[in-house]
Amino acid sequence: MRIDRNSIGSLALVYLLSAALIWVLLSLVRIPWVAWPLVAMLLWFCIWQTAFFRVPRRKWGGTEREVTSVADGKVVIVERVFEPEHLRTECIQISVYMNFFDVHANFWPADGEVTYYRYHPGKHLLAFAPKASEENEHSCVGLRLPHGREVLFKQLAGGFARRIVCYAKEGLQVHGGTQCGIIKFGSRIDLFVPLDAQVKVRVGDAVRACETVLASL
């Protein structure tokens, strides 16, 4: 198992604080039925955080004309929209919501070249709120696939997310299924594909990063 390199410090802090609290509980709380359940909760919290920040090994399930999910989670939006920032055209938006128990490492949805990258500070509305895509803190990444078609995805902060990490740089050549970043705590990915793309998922579907094909171009 590999831990995201930008999360090692956060995880170390969780371990240190949990160890200190466990020491206090075992040293000062003399009632076993009070102390031990709290210790168990702290140990469970450490295990959960370790799982949360891990980067799973996945085999990419896409092709040169398919885009896979950037994140683990549940599809919450599939609709026709106008993308104003980079593509500047009508697109199909496919949004995947990550809850607290999903892996929050993000992965490139296809092979290609990064054509656009911007980071936008903003609000921290709940990630499933309708205005979150425009108003929340987010990063935008344009990706041109080998056959020339282009897609865009947003890493979107949620109500509890306070850090977005993205490895994109314009001109970077990337490979589908490799890590492109991480969002710390509840958040969402918005993927914009051309109108003629064949969408392979529906609202409510559970998806896995790298493995689930969202659309065929």
Read off the pLDDT of residues 13-24 as tens digits, 9 standing for 90 and up.
999 999 999 999
Q: Which of 153, 93, 144 is nearest to 118 (CA)?
A: 153
Element containing residue 153 per DSSP (H, E): strand 150-157
Question: For the ranges 64-78, 152-166, 195-209, which has the lowest average pLDDT?
Answer: 152-166
pLDDT recorded at residue 132? 56
Tell me the catalytic residues: 187
Question: For the ranges 6-10, 38-42, 87-91, which has the lowest average pLDDT?
Answer: 6-10
Does the structure show a pLDDT above 70 at 157? Answer: yes
Average pLDDT over residues 56-80: 92
**Euclidean distance between CA atoms 160 and 108, whole angstroms:** 24
Is-above-0.95 flag for pTM? no
Question: Reduced to 3 states, what is the DSSP secondary structure of residue 146?
Answer: coil
Q: Which of 178, 111, 115, 187 is nearest to 154 (CA)?
A: 187
- Superfamily of domain 66-216, CATH level 4: Glucose Permease (Domain IIA) (2.70.70.10)
SS (H, E, C) 177-194: CCEEEEECCCEEEEEEEE
pLDDT recorded at residue 178? 93
Residue 120: strand pairing partners: 138
Query: Residue 100, Cα to own-chain centre: how many angstroms?
Result: 11
Average pLDDT over residues 104-120: 94
The b-or-e profile of 88-106 (16+ CB within 10 A means b, else e) is eeebbbbbbbbeeebbbbb
Does the structure show a pLDDT above 90 at 173? Answer: yes
pLDDT recorded at residue 55? 86
Q: How far is CA 71 from CA 68, 148, 179, 217, in A?
A: 9, 24, 10, 19
